[in-house]
Chain A
Amino acid sequence: MEKVILRTENLKKYFPVKRILFKGKTNWIKAVDGIDLEIREGEILGIVGESGSGKTTLAKMIQGIYQPTEGAVYFRNIDIHTLPPQQMKSIRREIQYVYQNPGASFDPWWRVGRSLEEPLKIHETISQREIRKRVSEVLNSVGLEQDHILRYPHEFSGGQQRRLALARILVLGPGLIIFDEPTSGLDVSIQATILKLLKKLRNDLGLTYVFISHDLEVVRMMSNKIAVMYLGVIVEYGDTESIFLHPKHYYTQLLLASVPRIKDLHGEREIFIRGDLPNPADLPSGCRFWPRCPAATEICANQVPVLKTMDHGQKVSCHRS
């Protein structure tokens, strides 16, 4: 088995809600509330969940952008949040983050060539010629032309902007890349091209991915393991195929049923989750999903379920399954 590259231990992030004048104690939004994950070298871990489930907060703690309220992130067995700034810099280089909207993460006034060289100037002490060479190699590997470095970000299409964002990260030769909704807002045909490229790069360069998406079909196609998040906790975790074939948690089942598929024309099966996500500052007692769960009983409202291992090696936190 491959080595564990990243591990999180009881990871928590609480955000304070602004206190209203003269009103008692501070409220906390528990964006991420106790997450244990393990990613091995070369794996692709998919994180799925609705908006507001804490996917992005988790990813930002893994990259070291957010300081966790509690718990730790171990990258190659080093607790990254206790490192002095100088060593943190070298970890940042290893763990890279691709933002949801790559067009907005490039400086609009810079030619993209300059943006692509920037990371190398920060992290390396090599000659300008060496930098140019590295940039042109990377451009090649993501399928862009050499003369594209003279253009400005707005001159690129959505698909090309994703390639650029990828190129800027790959110049540093990272070990782990976090993709936050890498294909949202793209057409299916362009989505397919980008996913193909991501798979190829992983195989060629031996990368490890954390793949955040709300598109379950995309996650199924891309990842080996899946963590399903709901309101800051993992409700189900396991191998991609076993989760898709034998979803144990009611939330996972309903989430899978919500995905529009061509097979069931006109949706004869009308299965969907009723209601909206509860207010994260005022979480339900017990299991966080119970107010929307079709199988909820008294125990669900009173007792917090723990992640337990089921057959097919899945971990599920549900009283009823």
Chain B
Amino acid sequence: MGCGMLSTRAFVSQENKDGAKSLTRLLEVSDLTVNFNTDRGKVQALDKVNIYLDKGEVLALVGESGSGKTTLGRSILNVIPSPPGEIAEGRILFQGHNILGMEENECNTMIRGKAITLIPQDPFGSAHPLFTIGTQLRDLFKTPNRNGREMETRMMSLLHQLQLPSASDLLRKYPHELSGGQLQRIMIAASLLPNPLLIIADEPTTSLDVTVEAQILYLVRQLVKERGVSVLFITHNLAVASKVSDRIIVMYAGQVMESSPTTSFFTETAHPYARKLLECLPNREGEIKDIGGMIPNLINPPMGCRFHPRCEEAQPQCSFVKPMLTQIAPGHWIGCHCQTVQTRMRG
């Protein structure tokens, strides 16, 4: 594949042309722009974001707070509160249907909690404190056309797979009687029970201990492989992303900076921001590096590439032209003026 300049939208559709791939495309977000109107001004949370997700793929969405990861996840479920939120531009195609154009009750019956489910960041905040775990899980399959007994066995085998001991006791307990790791596993069970096509996991291991985190990451990976579910895994931890994902997208201040298969992301990190982010991870050498500067205020974001005020390699054009996503190697796309020039010169 060549390394030419392509329009932003081409990022989504170009990959689509690889014959068989288009059959497996599950989700396409193109030119998504989301603003929040606040008293202080318009917060431009997402700026023409393009991502795609194939069936059975685990895509890690990595970025710092304020990069728009969660807003993107919420947009896919079409639950951006409006007002203050406003989807200014773009569409989200899920199996060819535009989620953003759907009616509210269409979303509720088809999408939310059905075809797309969510694993929340804080399990304690998401489970109802006054109902037992069993009641809450069984509520998920209270639909007329489903066989209760069959679902019950499915639920029990799922809990068993999630390594939850004495499941029948557990179902009689209330959320506060469980540890964080146990409740998060219940949340994973809840997200898998409706047989979704896509799971949005929003920082599912952030509030957990490393030991529990390792268990959960392993389970997510295993269940996804078994069932062929796609996962959008939102995290700020690159090491977690490396463990769980097939592909990584790095976001910064509402823009996509880099998109790459996980393996080549770590060996050939191309975007200056992604490289800085990797350097920030605690390392053996003992010398601590940081990015310098602050995350921009999205009410008045920097023109052009939003990372340019903190970028050491910034060129004059970076401050007024937004770089387009450009392919530098098969499947490896970056949005950066300087890198593209360098790669072209190397080529």
Residue numbers of A with Cβ under 8 A of B are 50-51, 158, 187-193, 195-196, 199, 214-218, 220-221, 254-255, 257-262, 264-267, 270-277
Contact = CB atoms under 8 A, between A and B. Distances in A.
A230 to B, nearest CB: 11
A51 B280 contact: no
A267 B64 contact: no
Contact of B242 (A190, A221, A260): A260
Contacts of B209: 50-51, 214
Contacts of B180: 51
Interface centre among B182, B240, B242, B244 (most CB of A within 10 A): B242
B87 to A, nearest CB: 26
Given A260-B243, A267-B243, A199 B288 contact: yes
A51 B208 CA distance: 9
B66 to A, nearest CB: 9
B312 to A, nearest CB: 14
A255 B210 contact: yes
Chain A binding surface SS class? helix
Nearest to A260: B239
In this complex, the member of B180, B212, B214, B289 whose beta carbon has the largest number of chain A beta carbons within 10 angstroms is B214
Contacts of B282: 192, 195, 215, 217-218, 220-221
A217 B236 CA distance: 16
A267 B218 contact: yes
Interface string B168-201: 0000000000011110000000000000000000
B281 interface: yes
Contacts of A221: 282-283, 286, 288
A47 to B, nearest CB: 14
B322 interface: no
Contacts of B291: 189, 192
B238 interface: yes
A247 B215 CA distance: 21
19 contacts: A50-B212, A158-B65, A188-B237, A190-B64, A192-B282, A192-B290, A192-B291, A215-B210, A221-B282, A221-B283, A221-B286, A255-B210, A258-B213, A261-B239, A262-B238, A266-B221, A266-B243, A267-B243, A275-B165
B262 A265 contact: yes
A262 B266 contact: yes
Interface residues of B, number: 42
Given A189-B64, A221-B282, A260-B213, A265 B290 contact: no
Most chain B CB atoms below 10 A, which of A158, A192, A255: A192
B143 to A, nearest CB: 33
B38 interface: no
A188 B238 contact: yes
B288 A217 contact: no
B22 interface: no
Contact of B210 (A192, A214, A265): A214
B234 to A, nearest CB: 13
A254 B211 contact: yes
Contact of B288 (A195, A260, A273, A275): A195
A247 to B, nearest CB: 14
B266 A192 contact: no
B217 A260 contact: yes
B217 A189 contact: no
A267 B217 contact: yes
B243 to A, nearest CB: 5
A182 to B, nearest CB: 13
Given A192-B288, A276-B182, A265 B214 contact: no
B277 interface: yes
B112 interface: no
Contacts of A220: 282, 284
B138 interface: no
Interface in B4-50: none
B276 interface: yes
Contact of B280 (A189, A266, A271): A189
B210 A191 contact: no
B226 to A, nearest CB: 15
B108 interface: no
B263 interface: yes
B147 to A, nearest CB: 33
A197 to B, nearest CB: 9
Contacts of B213: 258, 260
Q: Which 5 A-B pairs have the closest CB atoms?
A: A217-B282, A272-B214, A258-B214, A192-B290, A260-B239
Contacts of B242: 260-262, 265-266
Interface string B262-304: 1100100000000011101111101011110000000000000
